[in-house]
Structure 1
């Protein structure tokens, strides 16, 4: 987790969202909410941001959570605020960029699969989400939504003085003697990233390497501290959802991961015994949560924190809820599989 409080200030460093299988430097909406619980809500909060972006949905939720704080926040961009990272920065009543920092805004992106209808729905959702992002940038810069959207489509990068002139930042601080200090990220993935960032990433070998999920060998103890319990719960879910046996059995894998306390090893055994289903729509579990099927209190808090219009932007992607009557196969599926295959 790279969202922490030090000397009363909140620091957000790394990718936005749960990218723990790529890097340890990442933070989620839940991480930020947990960190905010350690701050003094009676005072204005200073938030230091160094992020190349990541998950657009987490970024939107974090932005809204910071913008809604009663005494506001002052944002300090140290290194980089790009993509979802720059959206988070817009929450500041003031936005200060260090003299060595950079900012980037662009259209929301995601990977999709499925048939032509699935891609049409994804395209519609991406367009709506990008418009919501543009509205946030417009509110800060006093530009029109259309003008901001055009900058996003062009993937526009700003040096500190340029960001101030464009209205996305308020001032520049520091002599810049430290040189380029940005979050570790493969900047070659961006279409128009400054050459100095691409060269730096190559020199530092900043490449995302997928790590195999590790299945926990021990059950979570009832007296585990809350932070450790959350991490172990996330590891358990990841071990099930990222296992090869989950492919083609997404509905059952989601049920076992999110709605039971079954150990990953037992869940994988059950997945192996189940037949593979036909390809499912591209709607992910995460999107279903935000479309109204909240599972935990953190889910509800994150959905409630979204900028106006954001949740409705993805509502067209919803698919049936497999936890109950939405799929006749889901009801009693786990119990039947256990009985038939002798799994307790």
Structure 2
């Protein structure tokens, strides 16, 4: 029985998890090529970086750079094997001649080399989709980025482009959707800053209800605090019915929507709407931006879950990832509508009295009276 394989065998990395199926495919392919180097001519689509094991990648790259011998000469002498090993060792010093013989033993049938190559490509596609998902998740949560929304959308485009390429490389088949359960949605953080911005939006929209008619790009689900989203629904309902809007009429609508509770009294609502600062559009953009980043993070986690499930084929990965991106794409469309709207004149910033609400130059904070 052949010895148990460990990734990068012969490099001293014996304390590793059990070998994944793709590593057996890598071994089988390399063994086929060691036996019949002429088969390299049929593998132009396979690159060294497609291999998951570093030593295997180095060995395949060495095969690509070492002139293929004449078949009869190769059967008579192992010169080519020695040259390949010598070319690969600078990148993988642990490779040995005995491991090359192990690879030969691990090849069930050299004529199946093309099938082994497709397996290697499929696993590389899975790893690449995961890398794109990781980058998307990182951008969505990195508070140091100067323009996180733009970075998130750029990485979303890169991921979408790779999914298109993936669809072109692998044939579709029945059962195109992954069966992987969706991970539990990340709980949206409703921190102090998010709550203040949402309260500012509600107060400004009450003072300037005409602005709501220009803000169809904002939806109740965009709010981090569900109660604020419900109050936004009250405001949009009043605007739709063309009814008078002020803190009292909003309070009356909130009562009809069962929003007044022991922990949220009429006085609390009146106080929340009492001090409008800035414009509804400004605060709405901030709320939508946070929703965009949250959705991007949720989407990335879902796609990562697909890639963690080795049962998914490349076609299922592409189909499931596109489905996961659909909600983010819809939110992105609204974000673009919000940020490309005609700019309105804004007044110099005047800070609101209060310890927490932050009014910036980009957020002209003027108390509105009607």
Q: Same fold (TM over 0.5)?
A: no
More strand by share: 1
Tell which has more relative contact order, 1 or 2 (C-alpha 8 A, sep 6+). Answer: 2
TM-score range, shorter chain: under 0.3
**TM-score in terms of structure 2 length:** 0.22
TM-score by length of 1: 0.23
- Higher helix proportion: 2
